[in-house]
């Protein structure tokens, strides 16, 4: 696998499968010792999360139009950036998860529930979309079709709908983001998760407490949240190098 120049993540995943198979053979009495246990996982490169700058976010949302589909997309992207939700969490949102105090009741990984606040811009975009959503449920969705009883009931509960009138899927969310990025001046590859990273990075850069960010993101471990400190540290270094007279390079260097 090293000769084939596979990534350390791929190698580690394949080794895990071999170890699992070795454990099975030991349980079945075919082996006394699992030889794969002696093979170490390769060190994985610690990559910094991709994120958008604040001006990138403004540019992305500035290119969303005022059509019914545009109202849905704006509410979706505003809420995604305002809350840092995972793709599955935002597509899984039900109407009863929206509280009057501008908080969302979110069901995260491991069915753990948390409360996440959202701001005024997201609130306004969401209110506009919910008025459009009512007409989509009434049969005016752009590509609406009759749904099976179970899917229709699920759509009635869902906050975000596809253009067919069903609950929006995570794949549908990615397609929406891809389309809006193509229409914007942003020359970056951005996923829904990058908006989650942007949410955390911008909070941290503005002085938010790491523990609070951990709670908002729904991270089990603080170590998972701490990778955002690398981004903040890098930004501080850039500011220092460009601002401190003894840190700047000489013009003739």
- Which one is catalytic: 105, 114, 193, 230? 193
Strand order in the sheet with 98-99: 98-99, 103-107, 113-117
Active site residue 244: no
Catalytic residue among 71, 86, 180, 202: 86
Which residue, 58, 37, 47, 42, is CA-closest to 5? Answer: 42
Q: Could you confirm whether 146 is annotated as catalytic? A: no
Catalytic residue, candidates 109, 112, 175, 248? 109
Q: Please say if 219 is a catalytic residue.
A: yes
Q: Assess whether 143 carries a catalytic annotation.
A: no
Q: Which of 50, 123, 151, 219 is catalytic?
A: 219
DSSP one-letter string for 114-155: EEEE--HHHHHHHHHHHHHHHHIIIIISTT--PPPHHHHHHH
Helical ranges in 188-221 per DSSP H = 192-205, 210-217
Let me know if 109 is a catalytic residue: yes
Question: Is 2 among the residues known to form the active site?
Answer: no
Residue 23 burial (CB count, 10 A): 14
Please state at what angle helix 222-243 crosses helix 192-205, rounded to 10 degrees. Answer: 60
Angle at 70 between CA 69 and CA 72, to 5 degrees: 65
Q: How far from the centroid of its chain's Cα atoms is residue 226's Cα? A: 17
Q: Which of 83, 64, 82, 85 is CA-nearest to residue 74?
A: 64
Half-sphere exposure of 213 (CA within 13 A, CB side): 23
Q: Which residues are known catalytic residues?
A: 86, 109, 193, 196, 219, 228
């Amino acid at each position: 696998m090293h000769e084939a120049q596979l990534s350390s993540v791929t190698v580690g995943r394949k080794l895990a499968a071999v170890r699992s198979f070795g454990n099975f053979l030991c349980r079945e009495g075919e082996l006394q010792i699992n030889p794969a246990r002696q093979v170490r996982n390769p060190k994985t490169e610690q990559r910094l999360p991709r994120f958008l700058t604040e001006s990138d976010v403004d540019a992305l949302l500035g290119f969303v139009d005022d059509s019914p589909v545009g109202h849905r997309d704006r509410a979706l992207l505003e809420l995604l950036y305002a809350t840092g939700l995972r793709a599955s969490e935002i597509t899984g949102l039900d109407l009863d998860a929206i509280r009057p105090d501008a908080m969302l009741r979110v069901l995260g990984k491991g069915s753990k529930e948390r409360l996440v606040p959202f701001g005024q811009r997201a609130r306004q975009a969401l209110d506009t979309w919910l008025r459009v959503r009512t007409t989509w449920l009434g049969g005016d969705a752009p590509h609406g079709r009759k749904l099976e009883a179970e899917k229709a009931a699920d759509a009635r509960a869902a906050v975000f709908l596809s253009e067919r009138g069903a609950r929006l899927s995570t794949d549908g969310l990615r397609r929406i983001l891809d389309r809006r990025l193509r229409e914007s001046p942003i020359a970056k590859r951005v996923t829904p998760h990058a908006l989650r990273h942007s949410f955390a990075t911008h909070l941290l850069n503005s002085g938010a407490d790491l523990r609070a960010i951990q709670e908002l993101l729904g991270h089990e471990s603080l170590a998972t949240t701490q990778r955002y400190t690398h981004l903040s540290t890098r930004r501080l270094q850039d500011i220092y190098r460009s601002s401190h007279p003894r840190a700047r390079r000489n013009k003739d260097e």
